[in-house]
Structure 1
């Protein structure tokens, strides 16, 4: 057993659907792009109400194999069961020796959101960082040009396309490029600012934020879902205890759906 932060025992596991299920069964097909269902199946590897972090990847991107079956990493206080009929499980104690000042490479799939007060509501409401940045950009561009701003996002975009500054294909491309730059910066700043509160500093020039997608959760209801972004880059640990606690607890919302697990390794 590995003790991390005041006696917390954690295990890092690599988990794959067994070959028959992953490639040839209806179960393998049903699990494709279903984060909620995957979490429920992975939960069967643990007892009780064990909370764990997990991340889904593709086997042929991470291992020497031509298979494109899903590959899952989990971080848990409890060691997963090794006798699963569905999964092949490889687990080991998580024993990072990290000091303040350590430089690490990292990968993180996160659900970047912000809390914002809405007129008529007492409590703040969580908003997708990307969608929020897009809307604020469009409102700002419209306001600068004297265009009405109490419109939907689609209406704001159409109004700008009618303005002389953004008419035609060239204008539309310039508007899209400017909006993309604003969204990219907002997405990166979400992680940079959180790092400052959780024991690490991000190197902005080496930070990549890609793979934005909307993940539907039809198992919950027709409109349910969450966004995710894949971050990759270099960080410097500023507070080793706080950083390790962040690794163990996960970063950001949607942890039950495959977000929040930061994978790290030493930078050369």
Structure 2
């Protein structure tokens, strides 16, 4: 079995009531709604982001072989537009780790077209390199 080393910057989103929400902020909101203490929010946000990456794998022909934490960082991005317009604001997650490609055709298609629903401003691009055997 060959593993591929990856790096991915994504804007992982979840759709609720027809609106896209950042998975990290959604997990935090859900935790607050359930009365979970603030110090426990971050681990739940990490789990939500890793689950998003696992769902991408199911959809795009790869598998995350272990339960490692793939989240490297989370940032709120903010870009100015034209004068007088609201700035663009979104969350991005940097993922890194090893994955196993199970369906080369689907994985290759996703590599060319990007990962996730929100593919702009550097999001959705996966970098790959040979991993371990």
Q: Give the superposition deviation at 1:247.
A: 0.5
Identify if the C-alpha distance between structure 1 residues 140 and 204 changes in structure 2 by more than 3 Å, giving closer, same or farther.
farther
Q: Which of 215, 219, 231 pairs up with 2:81?
A: 219
Q: Which of 230, 237, 262 pairs up with 2:94?
A: 230
CA distance in structure 1 between the partners assigned to 2:87 and 2:66 by the alignment: 34
1:126 equivalent in alignment to 2:26: no
Q: Which of 107, 115, 119 pairs up with 1:255?
A: 119
Query: Does the Cα contact within 8 Å between 1:111 and 1:259 map onto a contact in 2?
Result: yes
Note the residue ranges of structure 1 that are not aligned, 5 or more in a row. 1-100, 118-123, 143-174
Q: Which has the higher contact order (CA 8 A, sep 6+)?
A: 2
1:264 equivalent in alignment to 2:113: no
Larger mean CA deviation between 236-245 and 217-226 belongs to 217-226
Q: With structure 2 as the length reference, what TM-score do the two structures score? A: 0.89
SS in 2 for 1:212: strand
Question: 1:135 — aligned with what?
Answer: 29
Question: 2:104 — aligned with what?
Answer: 240
CA distance in structure 2 between the partners assigned to 1:193 and 1:204 by the alignment: 14
The aligned runs of 1:91-106 (5 Å cut-off) are 102-106=2-6
CA distance in structure 1 between the partners assigned to 2:93 and 2:10 by the alignment: 5
CA distance in structure 2 between the partners assigned to 1:186 and 1:195 by the alignment: 14
Q: Give the superposition deviation at 1:106.
A: 0.4
Q: Give the superposition deviation at 1:231.
A: 0.1
The aligned runs of 1:155-166 (5 Å cut-off) are none
Question: 2:12 — aligned with what?
Answer: 112
Identify if the C-alpha distance between structure 1 residues 180 and 256 changes in structure 2 by more than 3 Å, giving closer, same or farther.
closer
Q: CA RMSD in A?
A: 1.7
CA distance in structure 1 between the partners assigned to 2:62 and 2:52 by the alignment: 13
Query: Does the Cα contact within 8 Å between 1:110 and 1:253 map onto a contact in 2?
Result: no
Identify if the C-alpha distance between structure 1 residues 141 and 258 changes in structure 2 by more than 3 Å, giving closer, same or farther.
same
1:203 equivalent in alignment to 2:78: no
SS in 2 for 1:206: coil
Q: Which is richer in strand?
A: 2
Query: Does the Cα contact within 8 Å between 1:208 and 1:231 map onto a contact in 2?
Result: yes
The aligned runs of 1:178-197 (5 Å cut-off) are 178-197=40-59
Larger Rg computed on CA atoms: 1
Tell me the matched-pair count.
130
CA distance in structure 2 between the partners assigned to 1:267 and 1:114 by the alignment: 30
Q: Give the superposition deviation at 1:140.
A: 1.1
Note the residue ranges of structure 2 that are not aligned, 5 or more in a row. none
SS in 2 for 1:141: coil
